[in-house]
Structure 1
Amino acid sequence: MMIFVDADATPRDVLSITRRVAKEADIALVTVSSINHNIDGPNHIQVDAAPQATDMEIVKRMRADEQTIVITQDYGLAAMVLARNGRAISPSGRIFSNENIDSLLAERAMSAKLRRSGKVRLRGPRARTAADNAHFEEALRRLINSFDENA
């Protein structure tokens, strides 16, 4: 099993939780970010700042013979991971699936269209709480265990 973290936009708390859970479960962990982000830790891959470079690096490194979990906020990357039979989870603990990814991509497209129109200004995310971190950890552990159930 392998966990990849799209570290460009992953909160530090989520990265710390993921490292701890991966170590406890003896799962390999790789973080990937563009050169615009300074991520400390072992097994880190830095890519150039080109759009989607981080996403493409993660997808390129996925192996068909390996159970893969990707932590990302990017619905597009999540869709590519699902298409390659991987699993994806957001830092908020949302587990992406074939059942929800199409509606999430459509929602993203609609939000982008509204932002471009200049008629709507969307707020950024609220500050993370301890409850957010606990929810993410519980969802990550559930996702890891789901591989065992399907084996």
Structure 2
Amino acid sequence: MRILIDGDGSPVKEDVIEIAGLYQVEVMIVTSVAHYTHKEYPAYVHFVYVDQGADSADYRIVGLIRKGDILITQDYGLASLVLPKRVRVFHQTGKEFSATTIDSLLEQRYQSGRLRKAGLRTRGPKPFTTQDHQNFRQALIQALEQVKLSSNNE
């Protein structure tokens, strides 16, 4: 199992790295070359750099992810593409995407896009809060604890 992060603009990268270290889980951060960093990270953290195309990171993640992995993204479309691969997908606010919730989220995104094309304003995402941050950390820890328990029972 690995944790993949849709890295462009993710406010929870450092949290994931910290928590993954406690559970000895590999982290892959997929991000555009525009976000290249010289910062040193632990050996279990790997960066995968992609071109700056609109969906370059998404396509790379779809190719890299495998059964049992965890993905961190706020992209509903990407979540819908990887859920059939039997992975767990979390939003940066800690909400877990599932096969039962993703369809309604995609429908909401579609309807908002239609309204914007018609010239109407729609609400953007709410600012990332301290509570979102705490919820995310709690959700990731809980997911990793579940994996740990299930592997101990095998």
Which segments of 5 or more consecutive residues in structure 1 lack a partner in the other structure?
Answer: none
User: Is the alpha carbon distance of 1:50 and 1:133 closer, same or farther for their aligned partners in structure 2, counting shifts above 3 Å?
Assistant: same
Aligned residues: 146
Match of 1:62 in 2: 65
Query: Structure 2 length as normaliser, TM-score?
Result: 0.86
2:66·2:87 contact (CA, 8 Å) conserved in 1? no
Which segments of 5 or more consecutive residues in structure 2 lack a partner in the other structure?
Answer: none
Alignment partners' CA distance in 2, 1:131 and 1:106: 26
* Cα RMSD for the two superposed structures: 1.8
Written as runs of structure 1 = structure 2, the 5 A alignment for 1:63-78 is 63-64=66-67, 67-78=68-79
User: Is the alpha carbon distance of 1:117 and 1:62 closer, same or farther for their aligned partners in structure 2, counting shifts above 3 Å?
Assistant: same
1:115·1:122 contact (CA, 8 Å) conserved in 2? no
Deviation of residue 132 (structure 1)? 1.8
Match of 1:131 in 2: 131
Deviation of residue 49 (structure 1)? 1.2
2:31·2:57 contact (CA, 8 Å) conserved in 1? yes
Alignment partners' CA distance in 1, 2:110 and 2:146: 30
1:6·1:72 contact (CA, 8 Å) conserved in 2? yes
Written as runs of structure 1 = structure 2, the 5 A alignment for 1:2-151 is 2-11=2-11, 14-39=12-37, 40=39, 41=41, 42-64=45-67, 67-126=68-127, 128-148=128-148
Deviation of residue 116 (structure 1)? 1.5
Cα deviation digits, residues 7-44 of structure 1 (max 9, x gap):
11311xx1111100100000000101112324544411
Percent of paired sites with the same residue: 32
